[in-house]
Structure 1
Amino acid sequence: MYIDTHCHLDYLQKDNDLKDIVQSAWDANVRLLHTISTRLDESAMIKGIADQFDNVFCSIGVHPNESSEVTHLSQTQITDALLAEVTDKVISFGETGLDYYYEHSDRATQHKSFLAHIDAAKHENLPLVIHSRDADTDTVKYLQSDSAQGVTGIIHCFTGSPEMAKACLDLGYYISISGIATFKTATQLQDIVRWLPLDRILIETDSPYLAPMPYRGKPNQPAYVVHVAEKVAELKGLPLKDVIDQTTQNFMNVCPKVQKNRLPR
């Protein structure tokens, strides 16, 4: 089975019936979906979506571009707020990290929020879902910090440098590949996929964004993660089944809490 490591079902439900989206994924053999939180005040909705489906799990967190939501809170208060939202279906914290491209939130608040997520991850022994855009140096610095020792997670929608990829691998993180890898212009990312060890690769859609070829420019959905897997197999010269099996196992390794739940067959 395939796993969509990172999707936003809350965004998809604005224009779609979620039952149809989840069924379409199931029909494409995408049997597990990890829907990702971007705001604390939407935690109940995110968890509610996960609770509707046996094969949907979720994160809890504050996207760096939404971290102005927690400007008024201390680092400890943010951590406590994250921990208060944990349930059986919450298997990660994020997406957190740093975004210096848009800077919708000031850097100091992004840094505070990032550290709070790291603290929550360490407390619950859950992985982080990391967003890093134009901030690779600082992202790695925080992941290498003493406070982050023993924490692992997923570098979502990877578009960073080879140096960033190596640093994250050295820290025990998994690299998640999105539909961007199918774009003709994504030559650096494609080269990185070629040398990444298969046992550290994950696949995702980031739906409704970044639809892979041949759907580029259209709304993305979890079923399309199949095309990401096919591209990874092509770039690495491997049988598709090897990519499917290993990326599924990789997700179970980084998010072991999933295995404590009764998964549908």
Structure 2
Amino acid sequence: MMLFDTHVHMNARQFIEDRDEVIKRAFDTGVHYMVVVGFDRETIPLAIEIAEQYETIYAAVGWHPVDAIDMTDDDLAWIEELSSHPKVVAIGEMGLDYHWDKSPKDVQKEVFRKQIQLAKKVNMPIIIHNREATEDIIQILEEEDAKEVGGIMHCYNDSVQYVQQCLDMNFYISLGGPVTFKNAPLPKEVAAEVPMDRLLVETDAPFLAPHPNRGKRNEPAYVKLVAEKIAEIRGISFEEISENTTKNAFTLFGLDVK
């Protein structure tokens, strides 16, 4: 049994004191692979540093939409430079976040477009952050022809009606802790509908811990709880979910199956 946590923030401050122990716990649980996501000047270098320390941990580099207003042309050039690092497998997370109002929508959209264009230039998949902005995100992905590189709809928490549009644009659907929440019907509906060859699992740790750890610090070992819940919803074995989501992650990130 082998799991791949496709979105984790082991570079977050919440893991400063026990990062290595948390990673060991993940490995011991069968979570052998993960992508650590860097999204600003502080978290990007640490994502790469962690990936360099562990053979089966990789990094993604991008700029979070909440902080879009802080991104400069130099930051974009830096992300482009880092994209050639052997452990960097994706650009992101990027996207739109209309919940917080730190960055104006027009600035978020501009930074989003620039990162899609960069990903196409360096030929890498993208990781999409979406909060209360689905239609604008789909429109921008279509206008920028993001299908060329594809990527991940990270922690998908929207209606089933948008899933096919995402699949048509060469995106995988990644589900996290909310699929285990009793009061979250949308991820459960999506878990039942997404084609097996386009499904991924993640934690988004330290955020969104799955049941029965909801409200506590999340960690990559808990991606097993997400996979188990999806298996239950689909009426198939945990092993089948584990095998397929791991294979899908390897395919998306262009990794050789070990």
Band of TM-score, shorter chain: over 0.9
Between stretches 139-148 and 208-217, larger displacement belongs to 139-148
Gaps of 5+ in 1: none
Q: What aligned pairs does 1:2-21 form with structure 2 within 5 A after superposition?
A: 2-11=3-12, 14-21=15-22
Q: Is the 8 A contact 1:38 1:94 kept in 2?
A: yes
- Aligned partner of 1:237 in structure 2 is 235
In structure 2, what residue type is equivalent to 1:114? F
How far is the alpha carbon of 1:15 from its aligned partner? 4.4
SS at match of 2:68: helix
Could you give the per-residue CA deviations for residues 67-126 of structure 1, whole angstroms, max 9, x where no partner exists?
Answer: 1221xx35xx55433211120011000000001111221112211111111112111211
| Distance in 1, Cα, partners of 2:125 & 2:146 | 11
| 1:81 aligned to which of 74, 78, 83 | 78
- Aligned partner of 2:166 in structure 1 is 168
Q: What aligned pairs does 1:1-265 form with structure 2 within 5 A after superposition?
A: 1-11=2-12, 14-70=15-71, 73-74=72-73, 79-86=76-83, 87-256=85-254, 258-259=255-256
| Distance in 2, Cα, partners of 1:188 & 1:205 | 17
What is the RMSD computed on CA atoms of the aligned residues?
1.6
In structure 2, what residue type is equivalent to 1:81? W
Could you give the per-residue CA deviations for residues 182-222 of structure 1, whole angstroms, max 9, x where no partner exists?
Answer: 00011122112111111111000000011111111111100
| Distance in 1, Cα, partners of 2:144 & 2:68 | 23
| Distance in 2, Cα, partners of 1:228 & 1:149 | 27
How far is the alpha carbon of 1:41 from its aligned partner? 4.7
- Mark the CA change 1:216 to 1:41 in structure 2 (over 3 Å): closer, same or farther: closer
Q: Is the 8 A contact 1:40 1:60 kept in 2?
A: no
In structure 1, what residue type is equivalent to 2:97? D
Could you give the per-residue CA deviations for residues 155-181 of structure 1, whole angstroms, max 9, x where no partner exists?
Answer: 000001222222101111000000100
Q: How many residues were matched structurally?
A: 256
Percent identity (aligned): 34
- Mark the CA change 1:44 to 1:146 in structure 2 (over 3 Å): closer, same or farther: closer
| Distance in 1, Cα, partners of 2:47 & 2:144 | 31
SS at match of 2:39: coil
SS at match of 1:144: helix
Q: Is the 8 A contact 1:98 1:139 kept in 2?
A: yes
How far is the alpha carbon of 1:149 from its aligned partner? 4.2
Q: Is the 8 A contact 2:160 2:190 kept in 1?
A: yes
| Distance in 2, Cα, partners of 1:192 & 1:118 | 25
| Distance in 1, Cα, partners of 2:142 & 2:131 | 17
| Distance in 2, Cα, partners of 1:189 & 1:146 | 27
| Distance in 2, Cα, partners of 1:186 & 1:33 | 25
